[in-house]
Structure 1
Amino acid sequence: MTLGVSHDESRIYFKQEQGSFFGYTDYTHELWKKISSVNWYVSQADIDKGNKTYIYTGSSKFDGYKKLHQVVMIHWYGIEKFTEAYENDFIVEHHDNDAFNCLIENLSFAPNSVNLAKAHTYDKERKEALPLVAINFFKDFTTQKYQITLGFNKDFKIRMKDGTEKGVTVIRLVYNDDFRIVFQDASNLLYNLTKYLKFDLSKLQHIDMEITESKYIFFSNGEEIPAGIEVDGKFVMVLSDHTRLVSVSPNKNLYKKRS
């Protein structure tokens, strides 16, 4: 199936000509010139069978690599680093396991063995955990730091260093450039939250963190709970059985802090 390509100021989009949306990556003028110079496809046969598939080109102009995520990584990191990674049995890892999300913040070089472990554990368990928590991780290209983000869909409290407890809706954890450590901490967080409904911050290897405390809103019996309300002039999502977080974006200012 042939895909059309377009862009706005921040993203490049890949769509079926009839309008079905397939994927995206970051827009830069140089990357757009490369992507718009060739045709792009997805496998209709794989889609019909429910198999995982990738956006790819039939062109050989990107040093013989044809998948969109490979082209994106070559653009940002250069062909020398890319081929070195592949020679050392590293692959391009989609953090959220969405093959169509080729934003540079969603891609890392990762050992193939870790990729396989992630596919059989974390990627499956993350979806099952959504009623409790949305957990994701991202990588900032400029600083080469990671953030794990947790968005809680149920009331959750953490114990602070001073011994007090705080209700939190969002936690952001910052890490140095080590995919394996980030993946291990994300996996441990996921396991401890789903198994024990708690985790120990002191056992994580983050270098910085930020929390967003919960705001509690009370409704009368029988009163319909809205998806969102206005608080102090800002629209706030109301989390309930019908409204939940699926992903929390990283705070880009946290990447820039010196730790």
Structure 2
Amino acid sequence: MAMEVYVQNNKIYFYTDKPEVNALGITDYTDDLWLKIKSKKWNIRYGRRDKKKKMKLHPYIYTKIKGKQIDLHRFIMEYWYGKDELEKATKEGYVVDHLNNKGLDCQISNLCFIPRVLNTSKGNDYDIRRKFIRPLMAINITKDFDTQLFQITIAFNEPATLYNYGKIIPVSKIFFLYERFRRALNDANCIIDDIHEEKIFNIEKLRHIDFEYEIIKYLHFPAGQIEPTFVLRDNGELLLNKDTSKILFNEAAPSQKLYKRNKNKQKEH
């Protein structure tokens, strides 16, 4: 049975009622892309099966064009980069990687051409270890199509402190910017290692070209008041009270300020 496809909040969603698929497929919306997607039938395939647990694993979305199976992530990369670039990358041994290891997330910021061998090593190392470190922090890598820059995003699930030029800064999020994916991946692995072993990492050892951070926002409640899990501030900002919440962050949205700042630098050069 074909998936239901619809548009909401400037995103294109793919839905199936198959119980083993517990997430929506998603990609970015443009008028032209929506016309291409809605004209086709989309279904689910599985990357592999767990024979012991009798489970289907790693769902991917696909369609058929002239009898040939085409995965959504390759369909999307062809739309954004062009057929020639996709064919060239394939011929040179590159694959389309889902940066967050979620095969249903086909947003262009989550897709990247990387060598097949790097895709395999990433899946056997980084993609596994980042799940185990999540009680301490949510770490992800994303890519900006406009600037072609990569960003490591970190949202801390435990209190964290940044030491920057002699200053001690309590932070909730940190963002690191890179020109190359391999450097971003290497640094992400180093950060995971250091946080796992010592619960601290040295920014000076990383190879980023720029970075940003968000300072922890402290909430003060009258004595005796029951502290809420969520707080809506007068400016409309919704804050999560980590002291009372058992919610863990899965990801932090990339810093658009970093991309904008470095886009301007690219223009200057």
Fold conserved (TM > 0.5)?
yes
The match for 1:148 is 152
TM-aligned CA deviation for residue 213 of structure 1: 1.0
TM-aligned CA deviation for residue 44 of structure 1: 7.9
TM-aligned CA deviation for residue 104 of structure 1: 0.2
Query: Aligned letter for 1:238?
Result: N
Between the two proteins, what is the percent identity of the paired residues? 32
2:102 to 98, 102, 127: 98
SS in 1 for 2:169: strand
Q: For residues 143 and 225 of structure 1, do their structure 2 counterparts lie closer, same or farther at Cα, with a shift above 3 Å needed?
A: same
TM-aligned CA deviation for residue 212 of structure 1: 0.7
2:99–2:141 contact (8 Å) kept in structure 1: yes
TM-aligned CA deviation for residue 46 of structure 1: 6.6
1:134–1:247 contact (8 Å) kept in structure 2: yes
Q: Which moved more, 1:51-60 or 1:220-229?
A: 220-229
Partner Cα distance (2:47, 2:178) in 1: 40
TM-aligned CA deviation for residue 9 of structure 1: 5.0
Partner Cα distance (1:188, 1:125) in 2: 11
Partner Cα distance (1:230, 1:13) in 2: 29
The match for 2:167 is 164
TM-aligned CA deviation for residue 7 of structure 1: 1.2
TM-aligned CA deviation for residue 50 of structure 1: 2.8
The match for 1:205 is 207
Partner Cα distance (1:227, 1:79) in 2: 48
Partner Cα distance (1:153, 1:119) in 2: 23
| Mapping for residues 78-89 of structure 1, pairs under 5 Å | 78-89=82-93
The match for 2:13 is 13
Partner Cα distance (2:28, 2:168) in 1: 39
The match for 1:49 is 55
1:5–1:15 contact (8 Å) kept in structure 2: yes
Q: Which moved more, 1:196-205 or 1:13-22?
A: 13-22
TM-aligned CA deviation for residue 215 of structure 1: 2.5
1:179 to 181, 192, 201: 181
Partner Cα distance (2:122, 2:38) in 1: 33
TM-aligned CA deviation for residue 21 of structure 1: 5.2
SS in 1 for 2:186: helix
| Mapping for residues 48-127 of structure 1, pairs under 5 Å | 49-60=55-66, 64=68, 66-127=70-131
2:161–2:171 contact (8 Å) kept in structure 1: yes
Q: Which moved more, 1:182-191 or 1:37-46?
A: 37-46
Where do 5+ consecutive residues of structure 2 fail to align?
Answer: none
Partner Cα distance (1:244, 1:124) in 2: 17
Q: For residues 27 and 236 of structure 1, do their structure 2 counterparts lie closer, same or farther at Cα, with a shift above 3 Å needed?
A: same
1:93–1:109 contact (8 Å) kept in structure 2: yes
Partner Cα distance (1:129, 1:123) in 2: 11
Q: Which moved more, 1:28-37 or 1:39-48?
A: 39-48
1:171–1:210 contact (8 Å) kept in structure 2: yes
Higher strand share: 2
Structure 2 length normalisation: TM-score? 0.86
Partner Cα distance (1:245, 1:222) in 2: 28
Q: Which moved more, 1:165-174 or 1:50-59?
A: 50-59
1:147–1:172 contact (8 Å) kept in structure 2: yes
Query: Aligned letter for 1:195?
Result: E
SS in 2 for 1:180: helix
Query: Aligned letter for 2:171?
Result: V
Structure 1 length normalisation: TM-score? 0.89
SS in 1 for 2:142: strand
Where do 5+ consecutive residues of structure 1 fail to align?
Answer: none
1:92–1:107 contact (8 Å) kept in structure 2: yes
Query: Aligned letter for 1:208?
Result: D
